[in-house]
């Protein structure tokens, strides 16, 4: 039986939620610059991300600056002309990635160090700071920005890092190797590195898009604990919080509590689980995300206690459940069976022409002409072979890379066009455009989307009638 936990509260949103933080404070930010910290509301420029330090100071990244708030008041601010796109933190340290793909280390005192890397995709803070770039480089740095180690590349071309994370002192790297030319490798792998030494490498068969501790989220739907798939999902598992013996996993419109033996409970939300935060003991978990419908109001921020006792999920009643018993319809037997035509008259036979039922059947069969149809097996196989054709698998084409200038609001409209995809036998059944978090943004060959300033990897996936998936990706830069 499916289990769930109750929603404790919902906080109203006046615009799309862009980030949440749950710790000493319950806080969230909106695309229109509305910042809510507990009972305080502050208006600043467009909010993109946030992180709370252990003692409650809130680090907030906007399209213009990086700010720190304490007790609802700003205590420091630094300008970033290209804005702050994302923040990843743990303990007293956080790494901010700006609109040009540069990474900045920020400590709980507000002091900053810029890391000497460009086109940064991911940053994860553990006992050290791990950085992955668009070119496939993975490096570790000290908290004061000194480079300590760089992962050796696997081949000269065709490698992409899809996720990185820390499992204790173990650096976990998920990579995608493309077979671009004969002899090149093609694989979806996870690597374990400890102090610069490779401990293990294994093929996961599916792309890993999120890593937190021993937990990994898969883009085709699934959750791994270490090297074992412990739960299958219908949508990408792109958001994970490691809670020790279990994990909170966001996928589509559901938040799941997962243990190594499977899913414990699930909560369905009004919007997609795009932003997720929890305090240390899991008693305050904030969930937020849009339902992707521009014609409805912004979805609220949801608060749950992940330690609550799970209860059975009760399906809501439908209109069918509300139907009463249909009233009995009274009808006279003569009205129902009162047709006085005889079987002879129905068959078009003059009365008295037939003497018994056998003659009646003979008469009915008189007008039926029976023809025997013979089919030789060899002729059938020949016909099938003549109709058969070679199967030509479709080849996805996401178009070329794009570079656009952002408007005054820091966004640009981008046309994603996969209509040059080769499909001579019309075998494609499913189209899917996904962003670099694995979230589906469209299910049509072509679509126009609004992207914020920064670097974006967008992927076109197609599935043919035999259930085979293939993909092609493009890079979009909004300056």
Choose the weakest-confidence range: 119-128, 303-312, 337-346.
Answer: 337-346
104-119: average pLDDT: 94
Return the SS3 of 328.
coil
Q: Per-residue pLDDT for 237 more than 90?
A: yes
The model carries a pTM of 0.69
For 354-469, where are the alpha helices, taking DSSP H only?
A: 357-365, 377-387
* pLDDT of res. 78: 95
Rounded Cα gap, residues 234 and 65, in angstroms = 38
pLDDT in tens, 153-208: 876 656 889 999 999 999 999 998 865 444 445 688 999 999 999 999 999 988 99
Per-residue pLDDT band at 210 (split at 50, 70, 90): very high
Cα 84 off chain centre by: 23
Per-residue pLDDT band at 470 (split at 50, 70, 90): confident
Give 385's DSSP letter.
H
pLDDT in tens, 144-158: 999 999 999 876 656
Rounded Cα gap, residues 268 and 2, in angstroms = 12
Paired residues of 281 in beta bridges: none
* pLDDT of res. 158: 64
Query: Counting runs of H as helices and runs of E as strands, what totals does the chain give?
Result: 4, 41
> What is the helix (H) or strand (E) element at residue 285, kind and residue range?
strand 285-288
Mean of pLDDT over the chain: 85
Return the SS3 of 309.
coil
End-to-end CA distance of the chain: give it in Å, rounded. 50
Please list, in sequence order, all residues whose beta carbon lies within 8 angstroms of the beta carbon of residue 115, skipping any fewer than 6 positions away.
95, 102, 103, 104, 105, 129, 131, 141, 145
Bridge pairing between strands 402-404 and 469-478:
parallel
Task: Please report the beta strands in 336-438, taking only residues with DSSP state E, as ranges in sequence order.
Answer: 402-404, 411-417, 428-434
Per-residue pLDDT band at 468 (split at 50, 70, 90): confident
Rounded Cα gap, residues 215 and 226, in angstroms = 6
Q: Which two tokens stand for residue 283?
A: 């008693």
Nearest alpha-carbon partner for 419 in 394, 446, 449: 446
Paired residues of 434 in beta bridges: 440, 459
* pLDDT of res. 367: 47
Bridge pairing between strands 428-434 and 454-464:
antiparallel
Per-residue pLDDT band at 344 (split at 50, 70, 90): low
Handedness of CA 430, 253, 232, 170 (dihedral sign): positive
- Set out the domains of the chain in order of their start, with CATH numbers: 8-114+269-308 (2.130.10.10), 402-478 (2.60.40.10)
CB 285 within 8 A of CB 306: yes
Residue that has been written with the tokens 């799941």 in this structure = 256
Q: Which two tokens stand for residue 205?
A: 């068969």
Handedness of CA 237, 291, 416, 457 (dihedral sign): negative
CB 344 within 8 A of CB 354: yes
Q: Per-residue pLDDT for 331 more than 90?
A: no
Q: Per-residue pLDDT for 375 more than 60?
A: no
Measuring CA to CA, how many Å separate 183 from each of 155, 202, 204, 290? 11, 20, 21, 44
CB 73 within 8 A of CB 63: no
């Amino acid at each position: 039986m499916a289990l769930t936990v109750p929603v404790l509260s919902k906080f109203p949103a006046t615009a799309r939620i862009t980030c949440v933080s749950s710790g000493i404070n319950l806080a969230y930010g909106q695309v229109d610059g509305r910042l809510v910290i507990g009972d305080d509301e502050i208006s600043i420029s467009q909010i993109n991300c946030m992180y709370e330090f252990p003692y409650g100071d809130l680090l907030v990244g906007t399209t213009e600056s990086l700010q720190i708030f304490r007790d609802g008041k700003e205590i420091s601010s630094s300008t970033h002309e290209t804005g702050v796109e994302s923040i990843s933190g743990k303990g007293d340290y956080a790494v901010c990635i700006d609109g040009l793909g540069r990474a900045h280390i920020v400590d709980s005192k507000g002091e900053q160090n810029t890391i000497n890397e460009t086109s940064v995709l991911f940053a994860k803070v553990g006992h050290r700071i791990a950085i992955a770039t668009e070119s496939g480089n993975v490096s570790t740095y000290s908290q004061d920005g000194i480079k300590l180690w760089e992962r050796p590349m696997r081949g000269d071309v065709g490698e992409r890092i899809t996720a990185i994370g820390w499992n204790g002192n173990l650096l976990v790297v998920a990579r995608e190797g493309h077979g671009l030319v004969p002899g090149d490798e093609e694989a979806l792998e996870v690597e374990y590195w400890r102090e610069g030494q490779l401990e293990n490498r294994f093929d996961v068969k599916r792309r890993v898009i999120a890593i937190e501790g021993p937990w990994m989220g898969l883009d085709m739907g699934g959750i791994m604990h270490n090297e074992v798939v412990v739960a299958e999902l219908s949508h990408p598992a792109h958001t994970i919080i490691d809670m020790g013996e279990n994990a909170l996993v966001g996928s589509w419109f559901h938040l799941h509590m997962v243990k190594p033996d499977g899913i414990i409970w699930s909560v369905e939300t009004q919007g997609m689980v795009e932003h997720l935060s929890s305090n240390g003991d899991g008693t305050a978990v904030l969930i937020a995300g849009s339902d992707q419908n521009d014609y409805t109001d912004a979805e609220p921020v949801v608060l749950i206690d992940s330690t609550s006792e799970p209860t059975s999920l009760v399906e809501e009643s439908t209109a069918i459940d509300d139907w009463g018993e249909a009233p009995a319809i009274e009808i006279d037997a003569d009205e129902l069976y009162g047709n006085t035509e005889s079987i002879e008259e129905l068959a078009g036979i003059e009365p008295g022409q037939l003497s018994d039922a056998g003659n009646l059947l003979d008469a009915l069969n008189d007008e039926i002409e029976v023809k025997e149809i013979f089919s030789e097996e060899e002729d059938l196989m020949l016909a099938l072979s003549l109709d058969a054709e070679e199967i030509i698998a479709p080849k996805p084409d996401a178009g070329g890379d794009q570079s656009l200038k952002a408007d005054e609001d820091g966004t640009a409209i981008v046309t994603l066009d996969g209509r040059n995809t080769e499909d001579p036998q019309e075998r494609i059944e499913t189209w899917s455009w996904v962003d670099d978090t694995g979230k589906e943004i469209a299910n049509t060959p072509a679509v126009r989307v609004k992207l914020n300033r920064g670097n974006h990897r967008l992927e076109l996936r197609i599935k043919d009638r035999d259930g085979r998936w293939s993909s092609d990706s493009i890079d979009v830069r909004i300056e």
